[in-house]
Amino acid sequence: EKKLCPFMEKCYRKNPIHFDEMSHPHLEKLLVDQLDGTIEIPEVLHFACNDRSQLLDQLKVLQIVLRRERNKNKDNQHKKATVQRRQDKLKQMDVEAQALSRALIREERENHTETIKTKKRNMEASEVGSSVTKKMRQMSIEGSNCTKDSQQNVSNSQSSSRSNEQSTSSGTSIMDMYQSCDSEKSRKEVRKKAIQMMRQSGYTVSIVEPGEFAIKYAFSAPYHLFFTRIENSKETYNQQFSITFPEILDRSLGEIINSLHLNFMVDVGWLCLQYLLAGQCTDMMILYGDRVDHEKLNNNITMIEVDMPTKFGCHHTKIMILQYKDDGIRVVVSTANLYSDDWENRTQGLWISPHLPRLPESANPSDGESPTGFKKDLERYLNKYRHPALTQWISAVRKADFSDVNVFLVASVPGTHKDNEVDSWGYKKLAHVLSRYATLPPDAPQWPIVAQSSSIGSLGPNFESWLSKDIIPCMSRETTKGLKSHPHFHQWKAKRTGRDRAMPHIKSYTRISPDLKSISWFVLTSANLSKAAWGVQRNNHYIMSYEAGIIFIPKLITGTTTFPVEDEEDPAVPVFPIPYDLPLCRYESSDSPFVCEFLTSLDRV
């Protein structure tokens, strides 16, 4: 609970952070039933007040704080309800599977004393007449299929019955059964039957069949940039750049033996289901900020909560590293959390690296570096966690050949950065890369910067306090005066890609030509437009959150000075996939942008 403000009725502060941390009963009492709309101060107050104007200013700020807390409680209740519904569904699926397993066991016991010949006749008859056996064959996951792939006969029928009986009595879940599979064939069978059970339980399942993603990945060259498929937009299902989570894990890219997930919000049960749907079974290490489920962890999963040095920052990074049977790795940088909502009907972006083979044992530590320094930057980022569990992953990165990676990593880590680390993180890193590698034409001041994010942090009291002082200079060489234009806000429109009604959780930054035909660079990142994410210049460069993103520079990817975003002028240079429509759509005077938190103007605060 909040601490009581020591100044009580004499408190004159108007800082929302102060109201977030301290309780002011005399003010909170006045806002009962006044969290929405205009605040009315009663004529008679129960405390001394010499300045009603100051009191009103305080109440306006506190109203926003209390409204945010109320909405947050509603969000938490919705989150709990969503998790509970999913858990109830899974329990229902397990109960159904167990009931069907018991029915099959009883049937097998009754038939076990018959001769092989009689048993065959009964089995043939049961295919026509026994609805229980037929339904079981369609829906149930047999424990024996998860432990061995052998031909069905009388002798292994007995062991199969015992295996089913044990798994049923111990309440073995679908995921437990899948984890016990020891072959690709058995995993495929469990996957098939799990999908059937999900559909039977009311899930609308639209799954991309595994084994084909390597072709789609090859066609995504040279950018390897994808957007999540939108469940409610059929138009996105067959797009070349659309992707589902199981496709990232597709076996056509290799057999995964280990994986590292760095993310903010994680639903472990949902994540395990994605591996099942991809037909992959692997060890997992997850570094996270917030876990939204309560599933029992299998022995193959290690969970590590990331401690933050300040409550105003968060572990917002979205990175995956997949390790394959051949000891090669693959890096995925995305904007999506690891839970269903972010992968169903929200616009997300992700970059998938090429396969990064293991270097020979005789290689030097500096071998296998990318032309962009990606390997060194990723290793430096992982080292910043200072966690011994990441040693194996730092070693895997160090031993991998990153020479085919042609993008830059731009990351943020909490702390004060100075000396030789100043240009390694946040907006300073972005400025460092753009100033050295991006190329702009003579009319560069006419090329606007487009910043697209899912939320906007506190930008300071005016345009000059952070945007024009820190952010815009890192993205341009021109004066901010030449770049500043009104209005700043534009609507999300993405009809061209079928994502017009798919709320954007993607974050991207670019600089586009006046004719809207080309861009000089593009950034895909987890970082919203905020000081916590990108950093702010105090005495040194100060950052509060973990973030990670990718910088696409034409010179290093296509050998040109710009990427085309409309028609291909050069067949050798494919159109760069922009997630939103061009030209941008301004808000009309009658529109009201959706805002929350502290995006409310207060005259005196």
Residue 395 has pLDDT above 70, yes or no: yes
Amino acid, single-letter form, for residue 10: K
Q: How far apart are CA 555 and CA 535, in angstroms?
A: 27
Q: How far apart are CA 471 and CA 426, in angstroms?
A: 10
pLDDT at residue 172 in the model: 55
Same domain, 310 and 368: yes
The answer to whether 78 is a known catalytic residue is no
Q: How far apart are CA 282 and CA 522, in angstroms?
A: 34
Q: How far apart are CA 351 and CA 349, in angstroms?
A: 7
H/E stretch holding 424 reads: none
Residue 559 confidence class, pLDDT cut points 50, 70, 90:
very high
Same domain, 284 and 335: yes
CATH (domain of 525): 3.30.870.10
Give start and end residues of each alpha helix (H) in 410-467: 426-437
Supply angle C-alpha 331, 338, 347, rounded to 5.
85
Give 135 or 260, the one with higher predicted confidence: 260
Looking at the domain assignment, is residue 140 inside a domain? no
Query: Considering its fold, how many domains does the chain have in total?
Result: 3
Q: What are phi and psi of 89, to 5 degrees?
A: -65, -45
Same domain, 266 and 217: yes
Same domain, 445 and 337: no
H/E stretch holding 155 reads: helix 154-169
Give 198 or 382, the one with higher predicted confidence: 382
Strand ranges, E, within 472-583: 490-491, 503-504, 507-512, 518-525, 536-537, 541-543, 547-552, 563-564
Q: How far apart are CA 428 and CA 474, in angstroms?
A: 7
pLDDT at residue 227 in the model: 98
Cβ-contact 201, 555 below 8 angstroms: no
Supply angle C-alpha 506, 529, 539, rounded to 5.
145
Q: How far apart are CA 189 and CA 279, in angstroms?
A: 10
Q: Which of 77-91, 529-543, 562-576 has the lowest mean pLDDT?
A: 77-91
* Helix and strand element counts for the chain (H, E): 20, 25
pLDDT at residue 158 in the model: 34
pLDDT digit string, tens, across residues 420-429: 888 999 999 9
Q: How far apart are CA 340 and CA 231, in angstroms?
A: 11
Same domain, 304 and 450: no
Share of the chain above pLDDT 70, in %: 78
Among 19, 51, 82, residue at a domain's last position: 82
pLDDT at residue 589 in the model: 78
Same domain, 264 and 368: yes
Strand ranges, E, within 357-455: 408-412, 415-417, 449-452
The answer to whether 505 is a known catalytic residue is yes
Q: Other CB atoms closer than 10 Å to residue 496's CB: what's the count?
A: 13
Q: How far apart are CA 347 and CA 344, in angstroms?
A: 9
Question: Average per-residue pLDDT in the chain?
Answer: 82
Same domain, 313 and 207: yes
Q: How far apart are CA 399 and CA 364, in angstroms?
A: 9
Looking at the domain assignment, is residue 502 inside a domain? yes
Q: Please report the sign of the dihedral spanned by the C-alpha atoms of residue 260, residue 263, residue 268, residue 270.
A: negative
Looking at the domain assignment, is residue 349 inside a domain? yes
Residue 458 confidence class, pLDDT cut points 50, 70, 90:
low
pLDDT at residue 154 in the model: 31
Cβ-contact 234, 274 below 8 angstroms: no
Cβ-contact 318, 333 below 8 angstroms: yes
Q: Which of 11-25, 246-260, 264-278, 466-480 has the lowest mean pLDDT?
A: 466-480
- Catalytic residue, chosen from 224, 315, 505, 541, is 505
Residue 470 confidence class, pLDDT cut points 50, 70, 90:
low
- Catalytic residue, chosen from 224, 316, 417, 541, is 316
Cβ-contact 535, 396 below 8 angstroms: no
Same domain, 459 and 360: no
pLDDT digit string, tens, across residues 96-138: 666 666 666 665 565 554 444 444 444 433 333 333 333 333 3
pLDDT digit string, tens, across residues 279-293: 999 999 999 999 998
Residue 471 confidence class, pLDDT cut points 50, 70, 90:
low
Average pLDDT, stretch 211-234? 94
Cβ-contact 538, 418 below 8 angstroms: no
Burial of 169 (0-12, 13-18, 19+ CB in 10 A): exposed
Looking at the domain assignment, is residue 553 inside a domain? yes
pLDDT at residue 169 in the model: 35
Q: Which domain holds residue 263?
A: 175-399
Looking at the domain assignment, is residue 116 inside a domain? no
Same domain, 210 and 314: yes
The residues near 520 (Cβ < 8 Å, ≥ 6 apart) are 438, 439, 440, 447, 510, 511, 513, 554, 561, 562, 563
H/E stretch holding 320 reads: strand 319-324
Q: How far apart are CA 97 and CA 171, in angstroms?
A: 10
Same domain, 356 and 469: no
Looking at the domain assignment, is residue 146 inside a domain? no
Supply angle C-alpha 322, 222, 413, rounded to 5.
50
Give 73 or 282, the one with higher predicted confidence: 282
Among 383, 399, 415, residue at a domain's last position: 399
Among 82, 116, 146, residue at a domain's last position: 82
Q: How far apart are CA 221 and CA 236, in angstroms?
A: 19
Give 531 or 152, the one with higher predicted confidence: 531
Would residue 567 be called left, alpha or beta, if left means φ above 0 and alpha means ψ between -120 and 50 degrees? Answer: beta
Residue 448 tokens, joined:
């606007």
Q: Other CB atoms closer than 10 Å to residue 435's CB: what's the count?
A: 14
Residue 387 confidence class, pLDDT cut points 50, 70, 90:
very high
Average pLDDT, stretch 398-409? 98
Same domain, 369 and 392: yes
pLDDT at residue 591 in the model: 76
pLDDT digit string, tens, across residues 156-201: 333 333 333 333 333 457 777 888 888 888 888 888 888 888 788 7
pLDDT at residue 98 in the model: 67
Looking at the domain assignment, is residue 43 inside a domain? yes
Annotated binding site: 318, 507
Give 344 or 109, the one with higher predicted confidence: 344
Looking at the domain assignment, is residue 139 inside a domain? no
Same domain, 430 and 411: yes
Give 196 or 592, the one with higher predicted confidence: 196
Annotated binding site for substrate: 318, 507
